[in-house]
Amino acid sequence: MDSIFFLVLRRMRVPLIVLIVIYGVSILGLTLVPGITPEGHRAPPLSFFHAFYFISYTATTIGFGEIPTAFSDGQRLWVAICIYLTVVGWSYSILTLLALLQDRLFQKTLIASRFARRVRRMRSPFYLVCGCGETGSLIFKSLDRLGRSFVVIERDEQRVQELDLEDFKTDAPTLAADASLPSNLLRAGLAHPSCLGVLAVTDNEEANLAVTVAANLLNPAIPVIARARSPLIATNMRAFGTSHVIDPFDRFAEYLSLAVAAPERYHLIEILTGLPGSPLPEEHRPPGGHWIVCGYGRFGKAIVHHLAPTGIDLTVIDPESHGPEELVTVKGLGTESATLVAAGIARAMGIVAGSDNDVNNLAIAVTAKQLNEDLFVVVRQNQSASGVLFEKFEADFTMVQSRIVAQECIAILTTPLLAGFLGQVRKADEAWCRDLSRRLESVSGGAVPLVWGITLNPTEGLAVYHRLQHGKETSLGTLLRDNADRQNRLPAVVLMVRRQAREIALPEDDFALQPEDQILLASRSLARRSFELNCRNAKALHYVCTGQEQPSGWLWQRLFPEP
């Protein structure tokens, strides 16, 4: 607000000085020009008070009359001059003010001030998201679907305007500004008590690094999640204490190698980290044998790094022949049949079209399919606008980096317990993963389930917390009963219980709970509401524990007291 006030004063300084001078000269003149009496005799000039009063209404309304008596000809001549002077002065001031209102700097300052005011008044917890690209848009939609508030900073003003057109349930404050500047981050609520975390997902890695540095220095208590494709940038982010650094290329390559070596484990991870409400992911079973990797940039290097240890025989196609020395490298793009034939397309079991050009990737995939119909095709999609083309081609595996980053960000932010459980999943065998995937599919209704957590404390589970504090044993299976009919079980899977530093994966229904236990579950939103009601509402908890409905009114409590 101070910056707006001083900006207005600076721009309006000359017009205000002009008006003050005109008013002063006009008033002074009226105090010097003699008047005339009704009898035609010479009268003294106006007093300063009468002159000030007369000029005040004459300058803006062209007057209501001559006071306190009729003016002399000299006074009327001076008033005529004053009228023209004040009209010019006011016209100059108004035009300057209109130009100021249309000035882009003033408009940006006004918008930034209004944005900062909205953020300061926020009382509900929110996430600060830096970047409004494809990744940011997916994150916004997921957070909005989950009922979470968020604040957005994006350098591109057009993207901010497009975001304002989205049909979100929450009215998210947005600011078109450079997120790498600490002042903008503070204006967006970085140090706000209700800020739950920061997501640095801009298109500029240097900006993401600047955001992580500022967040870790100005508010080290909140988690920071950042996207980085460069190993050097990722290392610098971790050095400043960034909670999670996501490299979409490395993460996809890891998932692809996992799908080759342990398809059931990969399928389970896909279900657990998918965007809630989206269709369940299809099972991917990439074959072993000979594979061709087209493009040896950052993505291609990550693919080779993760696929080579699985025992797959790799051949690299690169325009500059920059493949690794230990592998066969063919020079070319991969869009030509001759290049693919030279790379051994006839005996290949899979191909990765991983250039930074969507048209080239589709051309590689189509040409490869024509030469080998049984080929397992993995394509990299760089732009969301190309989504229709990739859906039409129907590749076996499509890498969309914005989706990978968004899924992991949502999973980490909304369910902090999930990271620990995924660590146990990566150590599990295929049979264990397959059984858990089937259980999750049975309760999800054909969509990716909502993975969420609850802590048995006074804030999140007051009723069950009090019950446990009074020494009344409560099992996990009790809380999984339907509070509408306790004979029915809620369609939910308890993934893990964290008790202090101990993590228990897939606990049984007879698992005895303790205060401050953290429970990780997967279910649909309706089952979540029922489970949370069992934990928070004393009457619902009493019913699922005893099968008896607790009297709620004063009269019923007197007639049917609780034994």
Which of 339, 305, 299, 338 lies closest to 319, judged by CA? Answer: 339
377's CB contacts (< 8 A; 6+ apart) are 350, 351, 353, 365, 368, 369, 395, 396, 397
Q: What is the pLDDT of residue 62?
A: 67
Strand, helix or coil at 28?
helix
Which stretches within 121-276 are classed as H helix? 134-145, 157-164, 182-187, 205-218, 231-239, 248-261, 263-273
Rounded to 5 degrees, what are φ and ψ at 211?
-65, -45
DSSP secondary structure string, 120-162?
HT--S-EEEEE--SHHHHHHHHHHHHTT-EEEEEES-HHHHHH
Element holding 165 (H helix, E strand): none
Other Cβ atoms within 10 Å of 218 Cβ, number: 14
Q: How far apart are CA 112 and CA 118, in angstroms?
A: 10
Which of 483, 503, 487 lies closest to 495, judged by CA? Answer: 503
Q: What is the pLDDT of residue 541?
A: 92
Cis peptide before 324 (omega within 30 of 0): no
Q: How far apart are CA 505 and CA 433, in angstroms?
A: 12
Angle between helices 2-11 and 73-102 (to 10 degrees): 130
Radius of gyration of the chain (CA): 35
Q: What is the pLDDT of residue 63?
A: 67
* Residue 490 burial class via C-beta count within 10 angstroms: exposed 0-12, middle 13-18, buried 19 and up: buried
Pick left, alpha or beta for residue 344 (phi over 0 → left; psi -120 to 50 → alpha; otherwise beta): left
Report CA-CA distances (Å) from 272 to 225, 345, 351, 408, 438. Answer: 19, 35, 27, 10, 12
Amino acid letter for position 136: G
Report CA-CA distances (Å) from 295 to 113, 119, 175, 290, 313. Answer: 47, 45, 38, 16, 16
Greatest alpha-carbon span in the chain: 121
Spans in the chain with pLDDT lower than 50: 555-556, 559-560, 563
Q: What is the pLDDT of residue 553?
A: 54
Structure tokens at 163: 């975001």
Strand, helix or coil at 496?
strand
Structure tokens at 205: 């890695």
Angle between helices 2-11 and 13-30 (to 10 degrees): 60
Structure tokens at 252: 């996809």
Q: What is the pLDDT of residue 552?
A: 58
Structure tokens at 141: 């939609």
326-373 residue pLDDT tens: 888 999 988 999 999 999 999 999 999 999 899 999 999 999 999 999
Write down all domains in the chain, each with its CATH number in brackets.
2-102 (1.10.287), 123-246 (3.40.50.720), 287-395 (3.40.50.720), 449-559 (3.30.70.1450)
Q: How far apart are CA 289 and CA 375, in angstroms?
A: 11
* Residue 70 burial class via C-beta count within 10 angstroms: exposed 0-12, middle 13-18, buried 19 and up: middle
Tell how strand 42-43 and strand 126-130 pair up: unpaired
98's CB contacts (< 8 A; 6+ apart) are none
The answer to whether 378 and 372 are in contact (CB under 8 A) is no
Strand, helix or coil at 558?
helix
* Residue 310 burial class via C-beta count within 10 angstroms: exposed 0-12, middle 13-18, buried 19 and up: middle
> Which letter, b or e, does each residue of 497-534 get, where b requires 16 or more Cβ atoms within 10 Å of its Cβ?
bbeeeebebbbeeeeebebebbbbbbbbeebbebbbbb
Structure tokens at 453: 């957590």
